[in-house]
Amino acid sequence: MTAAAAHSVVAAEGPPDPELIRIRDLIYQVAGIFHPDNKLRLLLDRCSRRMKELQALTLGEYFECLTTKPMRQTELIALLNEITIGETCFFRNQTQLDALRRIVLPKIIETKAKLPFRRLRMWSAGCSSGEEPYTLSLLMREESRRLKDWKIEILATDLNQRSLEEARTALYGSYSTRNLNPYFRQKYFTAAADGQLQLQPAVRDSVHFSRLNLSDDARMIFMKGLDIIFCCNVLIYFDLASKRRVIQHFYNNLLPHGYLFLGHSESLYGVNDDFRLVHLPRATAYVKGERTQAGKQAS
């Protein structure tokens, strides 16, 4: 099927192209991100953009570009970039955040309530331009009654220095703030030039940004004592061995009751057996299960 024909098939509501299913399965196997049937159209659109760029005429030919040609690694990253483009925004995954507020937070509060020093430590690993950690900060502010006398620490790291600088300015355009409801918009933002929104300094200062390469073992071991880690659409770029190492660090960095949240439709299947998938209302997360022998040796 040609890129142009691919569009026409989608418009005609045709059955999924078997080559597209192969690409879907390849992405799931390599990157851990799954496109269910209702998202295949989106995947096809992303592939079509890359096919146009490469002048690949059919999905079969494009599959070859992703698997056998020398440029396969570069092309896979290019496709993953297309897939995750424009994903970052405030309140990106509302059902995940609802689950955090309704289920996860009360559980952690209950677990730590008897400790003399109450601290909630969260980490946004791969925070890009800051929308995710700032969203967490806004949510925690709204939970101030439940979290009275708690010290809240929100750490945010990224490999890209430029993204971090952007994050520190805390100035956002309409695309990043598209999911912000009027309540949050009015309470925590002020209007800035060119229709942008400036986040209040108090919220901005509540997040600690720093540059971190998740593959840097020497630094990863210092990210200790965490209650919650968010790592959304970051691991998809890692090869299996690196992914396993990062996940093992996450496992070690989390407290026993800790939670790991991944991106929407992102999975650890085949990557790690120590974490256990749990279902929350309309969301999933990973918690620390009983450690396997292999996991012990790797850590």
Partner 1 sequence: MTADKKALLARIEGLDHIPTIPAVLSPLLRYLERPLEQLDVQRLTDMIAQDKSLAAQCLQMANSPLFGRWQKVDSLRSAVMGLGIQRVSDIAMSCGVLNITPRDGAGIDPVVFWEHSLGCALVCRQFARTISYPDPSKAYLAGLLHDLGIIVNLWTLPQEFRVAYEFARAEGIPLHEAEQAKLGFTHCDSGRLLADHWELSPDLRDVVSLHHTAPESRDNAGLVALVELSDLLCRMSGLNHGYTENRQISLLEQPSFEVLSQQCPELKDFDWARLTFELDSYMEEVQSLVRAIYRS
- Binder of partner 1 out of 70, 86, 195, 281 (CB under 8 A): 281
- Binder of partner 1 out of 64, 168, 265, 298 (CB under 8 A): 265
> Does position 118 bind partner 1 by CB under 8 A?
no
> Does position 284 bind partner 1 by CB under 8 A?
yes
> Does position 254 bind partner 1 by CB under 8 A?
no
Would you list the DSSP string of 163-201? HHHHHHHTEE-TTTTTT--HHHHHHHEEE-GGG-EEEPH
Interface mask toward partner 1 for 55-94; x: CB under 8 A:
----------------------------------------
Rounded to a whole number of angstroms, the minimum distance from the CB of residue 91 to partner 1 is 18
> Does position 269 bind partner 1 by CB under 8 A?
yes
> Does position 34 bind partner 1 by CB under 8 A?
yes
Would you list the DSSP string of the chain? --HHHHHHHHHTTPPPPHHHHHHHHHHHHHH-B---GGGHHHHHHHHHHHHHHHT--SHHHHHHHHHTSTTHHHHHHHHHHHHHTT---TT--HHHHHHIIIIIHHHHHHHHTTSSS-EEEEEEES-TTSHHHHHHHHHHHHTTTTTTT-EEEEEEEES-HHHHHHHHHTEE-TTTTTT--HHHHHHHEEE-GGG-EEEPHHHHTTEEEEE--TT-HHHHTT--SEEEEEE-SSGGGS-HHHHHHHHHHHHHHEEEEEEEEE-TTB--TTT-SSEEEEEETTEEEEEE-PPPHHHHHH-
> Does position 282 bind partner 1 by CB under 8 A?
yes
> Does position 111 bind partner 1 by CB under 8 A?
no
Rounded to a whole number of angstroms, the minimum distance from the CB of residue 267 to partner 1 is 4
- Binder of partner 1 out of 52, 53, 94, 102 (CB under 8 A): 102
> Does position 277 bind partner 1 by CB under 8 A?
yes
Region of 55-63, 84-92, 164-172, 268-276 interacting with partner 1 (CB under 8 A) = 268-276
Give the residue with the Cβ less far from partner 1, 248 or 272: 272
Residue 1 tokens, joined: 């099927």
Give the residue with the Cβ less far from partner 1, 40 or 139: 40
> Does position 290 bind partner 1 by CB under 8 A?
no
Region of 81-89, 96-104, 179-187, 242-250 interacting with partner 1 (CB under 8 A) = 96-104
> Does position 107 bind partner 1 by CB under 8 A?
yes
> Does position 255 bind partner 1 by CB under 8 A?
no
> Does position 293 bind partner 1 by CB under 8 A?
no
> Does position 280 bind partner 1 by CB under 8 A?
yes
> Does position 13 bind partner 1 by CB under 8 A?
yes
Task: Output b/e per residue, 147-164; b: 16+ Cβ within 10 A.
Answer: beebebbbbbbbbeeebb
> Does position 109 bind partner 1 by CB under 8 A?
no
Q: CB-based burial of residue 132 (10 Å sphere; 0-12 exposed, 13-18 middle, 19+ buried)?
A: buried
Give the interface with partner 1 as residue ranges (CB under 8 A).
13-15, 28, 34, 36-39, 102-104, 107, 265, 267-270, 276-282, 284, 287
